Amino acid sequence: MARIPTIPGSRRLLARVRDIMAGAGTAQERLDRIVAIIATDMVAEVCSIYVLRAGEVLELFANTGLAPSAVHQTRLNIGEGLIGNIARRARPLALSDAQSHPAFAYRPETGEEKYHSLAGVPILRDGRVTGVIAVQNRTRRHYTEEETESLETIAMVVAELIASGELISSDELHAVDGATMLPITVQGVRLNGGLAIGTAIRHERRVTIDRLVADNPDTEKQRLFGALGDMHGAIDRMLEASDVADGGEPREILETYRMFAEDAGWLARIEEAIETGLSAEAAVVKVRNDTRARFRMQTDPYLRERMHDFEDLANRLLKHLIGEMVSPGSRADVGDFILVARNMGPAELLDYDRTHLKGLVLEEGSATTHVAIVAKALDIPVVGRAGEILAMVENLDTIVIDGDNAEVHVRPSDEAINAYNYMLTARAQKIAAYASLYDVPAETKDGIHISLNVNAGLLADVQNMKDIGADGIGLYRTEIPFMESNNFPDVDRQADLYQRIIDQSEGKPVVFRTLDVGGDKDLPYWKMAAGENPAMGWRAVRVALDRPTILRHQFRALIRAANGRELRVMFPMITEVAEFDAARHIVDQEIKTAEARGRTLPEKLLIGTMLEVPALAYQMDALLERVDFVSVGSNDLFQFLFASDRGSPVIADRYDPLAPAALCLLADVARRCTDAGIPFSVCGEMAGRPLDAMALVGLGFRNLSMATSSIGPVKAMIRSLSATELTEYMDSLFSSSEHSLREKLREFAVDHGVII
């Protein structure tokens, strides 16, 4: 391990800064004293503190050495001059000849032309820049690394002073200042439609550190090593668990993880930070913030992933040092809120209070489409790829999220808020208008009944399904409750949940899909190697066949939950008939065991398959001899058919489910299932879009499953459609060479008065 230099000088300086912070006087007076002692201690002629004000403006807040009149007058934009440059890069800068740096900008009101050298550091809080501290000297001075480190440590303390709201009002820290905090609209991609207004909550596990500064570095190091020991112990226990149980974290991931935990450079940086006078927890936060700021500049996805590893590690270590961290979203006092995150897993989304969570904005949001599926189950709008929105939004800003148009309006004006409130009312009225359709049958004008079912994953979906008069649950994604859990649910917990779903469905059919995890559908307690193409990797039934215990336990729970009633189950991602046979064999074994144990078996057991891998469509004859039903998962089916990542916004609109190739495939599946007398349906997202659903009905699909919010619009479409006319029309389209038949189908709808 690297030898840690002792820096008693910087510790003394930090202790003095801490005393000033704890002492008397206004925040401004304390800041003035801080610049004075930094200048004295570092033998600098100038010391300045700039604070980031609303509208991305850095204002000179305290200074010694420059013209006093410049304080509160000198303002720089992010990126402007050396100070703006430090803020933009979120990195320290030390220059012996500052004026020759290309970013140098001369401000006559400060009189700083005399000073040749400059060292500055960003003031960071939660990985965001909130100001800059800089020292300047007349001579061409070479500042040492220890000196900039020392400034960084003081910056942490000053960050707390800024965040306290004593220096600039918390109103300005968070809310609208007409002159500088202008409203902004950020364009992203639609991950789920809908409209909502709420308070912004940035998704970041916030650490409350009560003790930033510590007098005795040795005690802090002991605490650090104690926590590290605990953390290693916890990782080792996970490693042991992975040896003995199915469902433990795969060994190689944990090994890598432990390697990171023992990374000498990382630990050395934490120890160095302690040497400068920080408490152990503040030192971990400092190193985490530095790493975050550094990695943020990285465009290489591999390196960005490493940032997540170190960040995760730092968070775990903090947990061992100070206990649980709180997330702002769990606060009860924010009212309705819109979550803003760089990216997040579905399980993390489910950690938030669902009654007040009204929308989700993601800076990335393409890789983890599953969070969007969970958000859809929660019926909240989601906008992804929303630029650098975290840099523009503060906690408690007002946000309007318009999922339909993939727009996020940050700090909208009062007029805009009124307009959006009006739109919200109009939407509510439209939704209420659909309510009048809940009790009427989903029947076309020519008398064809279409079974409309919901896609579910939360218990609340079951109530919604009944409320809106759907026929049943066409797809129950069992992985969603697994994601909500902190550990792998055992048979009892699964059985209890499935039983509640069946009970509450009151006789309406429920199709349980066995666990579809792996690839990008991560469980928080079971990190699986992602591979290069996670969607095509070790996921869904592929995992079940390799870890049969998981499938057997799930089936055991389902048999118990059914308790003699009908049970419908399907497997995800079946690629070939042999896989269906293998999965079925595991299930049969479990039935035999249940029988031998005298368990009550379901009065009727229907075992079906998802059709979401194109290869399976070429084995339809063999498949249809074996299955009780087929459910087309168009989301995956088309991503594989078109070789087009379903989560990538760049190619999201490139291929259309209403393209001739896609419709030919669906028509073929529908015809073969009809001929064989096997029930078939579509449960992918296309079934919930009125025009796409219209095409499916034209192809012969009579059973559709969709998000609850789509039932009303799809039923309105069905009741205004003559299916026979549409089928005749579509017969003429299959040989088309066009990119998509969407426009033709839209014209048909308009000409025939179909509500789409």
Task: Give the binding site for ligand PEP (CB under 6 A).
Answer: 373, 475, 477, 516, 612, 633-636, 683-684
Partner whose binding site includes residue 329, from Mg ion, ligand PEP, none (CB under 5 to 8 Å by kind): none
Q: CA end-to-end span of the chain, whole Å?
A: 67
Give kind and range of the element (H or E) at residue 613: none
Which residue type is seen at 451?
Answer: S
Name which of 420 and 571 has its Cβ closer to Mg ion: 571
- 672 token code pair: 């073969």
Residue among 51 and 707 whose Cβ is closer to Mg ion: 707
Report H helices in 262-300: 264-275, 280-296
Q: Considering only 113-121, 295-303, 334-342, 604-612, which stretch makes contact with Mg ion by CB under 5 A? A: 604-612
Note whether 348 and 369 are within 8 A (CB).
no
> Among residues 480, 484, 521, which one has the least CA distance to residue 368?
521
Question: Minimum Å distance from CB 478 to ligand PEP?
Answer: 10
Distances, alpha carbon 567 to alpha carbons 251, 310, 541, 663, in Å: 36, 45, 19, 31
Cβ distance to Mg ion smaller for residue 271 or 636: 636
Q: At what angle do helices 711-719 and 690-699 cross, to 10 degrees?
A: 50
Please say whether the beta carbons of 49 and 31 come within 8 A: yes
Specify the residue, 286 or 539, whose C-beta has the smaller distance to ligand PEP. Answer: 539
Which region, left, alpha or beta, applies to residue 450 given φ > 0 means left and ψ of -120 to 50 means alpha?
beta
248 binds Mg ion per the rule CB under 5 A: no
Name residue 47's beta-bridge partners.
64, 135
Min separation Cβ 536 and Mg ion, Å = 12
Q: Which of 247, 345, 633, 698 binds Mg ion (CB under 5 A)?
A: 633
Task: Indicate the residue among 283 and 475 with the shorter CB distance to ligand PEP.
Answer: 475
Q: How far is the CB of 612 from ligand PEP (least distance, A)?
A: 5
d(CA 370, CA 374): 6
> Is 636 an interacting residue with respect to Mg ion (CB under 5 A)?
yes
683 binds, among ligand PEP, Mg ion, none (CB under 5 to 8 A by kind): ligand PEP
Determine if 518 is a binding residue for Mg ion (CB under 5 A). Answer: no
In this complex, which beta carbon is closest to ligand PEP, that of residue 476 or of residue 555? 476
Nearer to Mg ion, 52 or 682 (CB): 682
- Return the range that interacts with Mg ion (CB under 5 A); candidates 42-50, 456-464, 583-591, 635-643: 635-643
d(CA 13, CA 43): 12
Q: How far is the CB of 516 from Mg ion (least distance, A)?
A: 6
What residue number has its CB nearest to ligand PEP?
633
Q: How far is the CB of 666 from ligand PEP (least distance, A)?
A: 12
Q: Supply the minimum distance, in Å, between the C-beta of residue 572 and Mg ion.
A: 6
Structure letter (DSSP) for residue 601: P
**Judged by CB, which is closer to ligand PEP: 92, or 684?**
684
**Which does residue 634 bind out of Mg ion, ligand PEP, none, counting CB within 5 to 8 angstroms by kind?**
ligand PEP
For position 281 contacting Mg ion by CB under 5 A, the verdict is: no
Least distance to ligand PEP from the beta carbon of 683, Å? 5
Please write down the HEC assignment for all residues of 90-120: CCCEEECCHHHCCCCCCCHHHCHHHCCEEEE
Contact predicate 240/234, CB 8 Å: no
Q: How far is the CB of 571 from ligand PEP (least distance, A)?
A: 12
For the segment 609-628, give every residue that binds Mg ion (CB under 5 A).
612
C-alpha distances out from residue 237 to 229, 232, 260, 518, 661, Å: 12, 8, 16, 22, 51
User: Which of ligand PEP, Mg ion, none is residue 134 near (CB under 5 to 8 Å by kind)?
Assistant: none
Q: Which is nearer to Mg ion, 282 or 574 (CB)?
A: 574
Least distance (Å) from ligand PEP to the CB of residue 623? 17
Binding site partner of 281, from Mg ion, ligand PEP, none, Cβ cut-off 5-8 A by kind: none
Residue 684's binding partner, choosing from ligand PEP, Mg ion, none, with beta-carbon cut-off 5 to 8 A by kind?
ligand PEP
Q: For residue 601, give the amino acid letter.
A: L
How far is it, in rounded angstroms, from Cα 194 to Cα 411? 19
Helical (H) or strand (E) element with 475: strand 472-477
User: Which of 486, 343, 331 lies closest to 396 in space, CA to CA?
Assistant: 331
- 195: partner contacted, choices Mg ion, ligand PEP, none (Cβ within 5-8 A by kind): none
* Residue 477 near which of Mg ion, ligand PEP, none (CB within 5-8 Å, type-dependent): ligand PEP
> 61 or 476: whose CB is closer to ligand PEP?
476
Closest CB to ligand PEP among residues 358, 477:
477
Please classify residue 179 by burial: count the beta carbons closer than 10 Å to its beta carbon, then call 0-12 exposed, 13-18 middle and 19+ buried.
exposed
Of 484, 395, 1, 13, give the one whose Cα is nearest residue 224: 1
Compute the least distance from the CB of residue 685 to ligand PEP, in Å: 7
**Closest by Cα among 595, 582, 667 to 626:** 582
Chain residue at closest Cβ approach to Mg ion: 636
> Which of residues 461 and 685 has its CB atom nearest to Mg ion in the complex?
685
In the complex, the smallest distance separating the C-beta of residue 191 from ligand PEP, rounded to whole angstroms, is 13
3-state SS, 5-65, equals CCCHHHHHHHHHHHHHHHCCCCHHHHHHHHHHHHHHHCCCCEEEEEEEECCCEEEEEEEEC
Binding site for Mg ion (CB under 5 A): 612, 633, 636
